[in-house]
Amino acid sequence: MTVKKDQWINLAFVFGVIGFIGIANSFFDEYTIRILNNIAIFTILAVSYNLINGVTGQFSLEPNGFVAIGAYVTALLLVSPEAKQYQYAIVDPYPFVLSLHANFVVALVLSGFFATCLALVLSFPVFRVRGDYLAIVTLGFGFIIKIFAINYPEVTNGSLGLNDIPEFSNLYWTGGIAIIAVITVLNIVNSKFGRAMKAVRDDEDAAIAMGVNTFKAKTFAFCTSAFFEGVGGGLLAALLTSISPDLFDFFFTFQLLIIIVLGGLGSTTGAIVGTILVMGGSEWMRFLDEPMKFFGYTTPAMPGLRMVVFSLILIFIMLFAREGIMGKKELKDLFKGRKRGAK
């Protein structure tokens, strides 16, 4: 089996990430590892969200709903029956809720499975519309999931949420699944399904005229995205050890939208770069909120300054990179461009 030249770059990147994960636990403190875990989880969410929004060109605003489903499924399966009985203070949980229990791997798989099943059911009414109407429909779905989580305390414990979730998520789990998600999405994008998705994005009517089954392409992208968003939600629950409906409001979707637009719609590499900048940058700039010394003068603490500076940086980037940092290009395309320029 031969490996194409373009694939060597992706393989080198994957092995580099694996090596980094292997040494990170020994060289970084707990706070830095926590940030890296967040980056890995949001990488899973961003590359999967980019598959439906960027590659397929469907303006979907549903990620918070699928992430919430994954988080609650994982939490309900990991929390012990005794802990559930203690936590449900508003009303008693349903008997089947107390009986739910599984190991971490099964919980993640089921989280992705339930999110995928719901995406498949939703695809029939959702893809009857396009553009802004599609955005409104999927936005409403996210609100419905949040309202369900609040108004059915027998299942979700209502607005109190679920606590004492075992902390299974570590850098090996989050980083390993992030690599799997990136490889899976890249293989889909470079397959015949990926070409069909790009055809839908560029001109759906022309794609239909050329015989492309656009509903099948959009549904496949939607369900794949939902699966990884469900798994990412499960990893997030097992990292935070506590979840509530407020965690999965529209701001969650908006944050992912910023990431994929900043990195470049349609670029999986761009989604990774956007995740590192947004999730990592916002944390690493926390020193701006604290008192600082300039030439012997100590400035007072200014909470929120980091977000002001971070927002200005985002505005600056978008002004000079209208299609995002990567546009629709991948990492291998940059190396191709350099080789041509060298010639």
Cα–Cα dist 95/101, whole Å:
12
Q: How many CA atoms lie within 13 A of 52 on its CB side?
A: 34
Q: Is residue 333 part of a domain?
A: no
Task: Identify the three-state secondary structure at position 329.
Answer: coil
pLDDT at position 1: 41
pLDDT at position 10: 62
- The predicted model gives 3-26 an average pLDDT of 67
297 backbone dihedrals φ, ψ, rounded to 5°: -105, 130
**172-183 pLDDT, tens digit each:** 899 889 989 998
Res. 29 pLDDT band, cuts 50 70 90: confident
Both structure tokens of 282: 């916002």
Cα–Cα dist 62/252, whole Å:
10
Q: Is residue 166 part of a domain?
A: yes
pLDDT at position 181: 92
Task: Find which of 116-120, 262-266, 278-282, 334-338 is predicted with most confidence, using mean pLDDT.
Answer: 116-120
Cα–Cα dist 77/104, whole Å:
8
- The predicted model gives 113-136 an average pLDDT of 90
Both structure tokens of 261: 């637009």
Average pLDDT, the chain: 84
pTM of the model: 0.89
- The predicted model gives 188-205 an average pLDDT of 89
Quote the domain boundaries for residue 43.
Answer: 5-249
pLDDT at position 46: 93
The residue written with tokens 């939607």 in the block is 222
Contact 77, 197 (CB under 8 A): no
Res. 335 pLDDT band, cuts 50 70 90: low
Cross-strand pairs, 124: none
What are the angstrom distances between the C-alpha of 131 and each of 53, 135, 259?
11, 7, 20
Total of domains in the chain = 1
Cross-strand pairs, 298: 293
Both structure tokens of 299: 């400035």
- The predicted model gives 63-76 an average pLDDT of 93
pLDDT at position 111: 95
Cross-strand pairs, 162: 243
Both structure tokens of 243: 């979840």
Cα–Cα dist 78/166, whole Å:
7
Res. 342 pLDDT band, cuts 50 70 90: very low
Q: Is residue 315 part of a domain?
A: no
Amino acid letter for position 308: V
Is the per-residue pLDDT at 295 higher than 60?
yes
Res. 336 pLDDT band, cuts 50 70 90: low
* 77 Cβ contact list (under 8 Å, min separation 6): 100, 101, 102, 106, 107, 110
Q: Is residue 230 part of a domain?
A: yes
Cα–Cα dist 119/135, whole Å:
15
Contact 257, 62 (CB under 8 A): no
Amino acid letter for position 108: L
Torsion angle of alpha carbons 113, 330, 325, 287, nearest 10°? 60
Res. 11 pLDDT band, cuts 50 70 90: low
| Measured CA angle at 42 (ends 225, 309), to 5 deg | 130
Is the per-residue pLDDT at 189 higher than 60?
yes
